[in-house]
Amino acid sequence: MPLAIVVGGFFGDEGKGKVAAYLALADNPSIAVRCGSINAGHTVVYGGRTWKLRLVPSFFVNRNVRLMIAAGALIRLDVFFSEVEETGVRDRIFVDRNAGVIEDRHVEAEKRDAFLVKDVGSTLQGVGFAMSDRVLRRLRLAKDFDVLRDYLVDVSLEVNSAIDRGEIVYIEGVQGTFLSLYHGTYPYVTSRDTTASAFASEVGVGPKKVDEVIVVFKSYVTRVGGGPLEGELPPEEAERLGLVEVATVTGRRRRVALFNVELAKRAIMLNSATQVAITRLDALYPNDKCVREWGKLSKEARNWVENIESSLKTPITIIGTGEDALCTIDRRKELGLGWR
């Protein structure tokens, strides 16, 4: 039953899109399911091109993968069709019939909410108001829109059947553990749970079918919008260290702090992580950019990874050394993990 969940370990922006794209190429899964909604952007760089995706799973780079959007997800029709066209996945992407649909009225309502705009730092995509409508049982679902008719499937049935056949399936989580509505820095959180258990629930698979949970951390911590960020660096210090970033969806500059071991430990606990992926190691060690073998990393970079691994007591199996999906070190085989 090879099922793995990819989940963010901090406040989003950890590089889940990059990790997912690499796993698509390395593991050749049968199905990849994306959860969440359009307020979470995943960036994929591969073959000299860059995609910034809010609905299409980052696993699309492998043309053999069937792509799906979970029942617990929220889609917006214009974003969905635009990304399907951009990625060329028309014949292999499917939407669960019970996925929710964000409408213009949700976006307009969110823009009028002063607390969400000024304090929380909402992405203003209408997600929170659509989630509210879902709870109140008045949200329109994918099955209510004729334009989606050819895309509709029972994602839970498709996924469970594939797992029972022994095929590899990935669930692509969104945002980060500490943006969870329940386990994050409330009220500066998103409108859903963002832990591995929640993503399994969104798709419709039970916990006994989950084999691996890969928690993705960046080599430093970033966050967009309001809320606490322990050890936050002044903007000028972030610039000096070369750690300045801009958010995929909002275009806002991300706040920055150095890697937080205690926060990472809690994320591992909350997600029952079996593996850890670390991205942007090259931001700390520029001379290691796009190194693809563990033994070819600089001694300083290896020591940093090993110290983090020792502190977290969880194997670091995937290491990102550059933006491109293939700028990755994969230690799973040597560590005896995964299904490679």
Asked whether residue 222 carries a pLDDT value surpassing 90, the answer given is yes
Packing angle of the helix pair 261-271, 299-312 (nearest 10 deg): 50
Task: Write down the residue that tokens 């909350």 correspond to.
Answer: 270
Q: How far apart are CA 286 and CA 28, in angstroms?
A: 30
The predicted pLDDT at position 165 comes to 96
Give me the domain span that covers residue 310. Answer: 3-65+151-335
User: Residue 323 domain-assigned?
Assistant: yes
User: Residue 42 domain-assigned?
Assistant: yes
The predicted pLDDT at position 10 comes to 98
Task: Of 68-77, 129-138, 205-214, 299-308, give the lowest mean pLDDT range.
Answer: 129-138
User: Where would I find the beta strands (DSSP E) of the chain?
Assistant: 3-8, 31-34, 42-46, 49-53, 66-69, 74-75, 93-96, 100-101, 152-153, 169-172, 212-218, 220-223, 255-258, 275-279, 316-320, 328-330
**Residues facing 329 on adjacent strands:** 319
pLDDT digits (tens, 9 = 90+) for 133-144: 999 999 999 999
Provide the percentage of residues in the chain whose pLDDT is more than 70: 94
The predicted pLDDT at position 118 comes to 57
Q: For 222-247, what is the mean pLDDT?
A: 90
Per the model's pLDDT, the better-predicted residue between 126 and 3 turns out to be 3
Per the model's pLDDT, the better-predicted residue between 217 and 119 turns out to be 217
Residue 303 C-beta-side C-alpha neighbours within 13 Å: 4
The predicted pLDDT at position 252 comes to 74
Asked whether residue 1 carries a pLDDT value surpassing 60, the answer given is no
pLDDT confidence of 116, banded at 50, 70, 90? low
User: Residue 11 domain-assigned?
Assistant: yes
Q: Which residues contact 243 (CB under 8 A, 6 or more apart)?
A: 220, 222, 233, 256, 283
Q: For 23-31, what is the mean pLDDT?
A: 98
Asked whether residue 326 carries a pLDDT value surpassing 90, the answer given is yes
- Where in the sequence numbering do the catalytic residues fall? 13, 42
Q: For 315-330, what is the mean pLDDT?
A: 98
pLDDT confidence of 122, banded at 50, 70, 90? low
CATH number for the domain that contains residue 171: 3.40.440.10
Q: For 67-77, what is the mean pLDDT?
A: 97
Asked whether residue 249 carries a pLDDT value surpassing 90, the answer given is no
pLDDT digits (tens, 9 = 90+) for 256-311: 999 999 999 999 999 999 999 999 999 999 999 999 999 999 999 999 999 999 99
Domain count, the chain: 1
Inter-residue contact 273 to 4 (CB < 8 Å): no
The predicted pLDDT at position 125 comes to 80
Q: How far apart are CA 253 and CA 225, in angstroms?
A: 9
Q: For 200-226, what is the mean pLDDT?
A: 96
Q: Is 255 helix (H, G, I), strand (E, B) or coil?
A: strand
User: Residue 71 domain-assigned?
Assistant: no
User: Residue 110 domain-assigned?
Assistant: no
Per the model's pLDDT, the better-predicted residue between 108 and 124 turns out to be 108
The predicted pLDDT at position 117 comes to 56
Q: How far apart are CA 283 and CA 90, in angstroms?
A: 36
User: Residue 57 domain-assigned?
Assistant: yes
Inter-residue contact 8 to 173 (CB < 8 Å): yes
The pair of structure tokens assigned to 52 is: 């910034």
Asked whether residue 250 carries a pLDDT value surpassing 90, the answer given is no
**Burial class of residue 109 in the structure, from the number of CB atoms within 10 Å of its CB (0-12 exposed, 13-18 middle, 19+ buried):** middle
The predicted pLDDT at position 244 comes to 85
Q: For 304-328, what is the mean pLDDT?
A: 98
User: Residue 171 domain-assigned?
Assistant: yes
Q: Which residues contact 89 (CB under 8 A, 6 or more apart)?
A: 56, 60, 67
User: Residue 96 domain-assigned?
Assistant: no
Give the DSSP letter of residue 115. I
Asked whether residue 39 carries a pLDDT value surpassing 90, the answer given is no
Q: How far apart are CA 5 and CA 186, in angstroms?
A: 24
Q: Which residues contact 91 (CB under 8 A, 6 or more apart)?
A: none
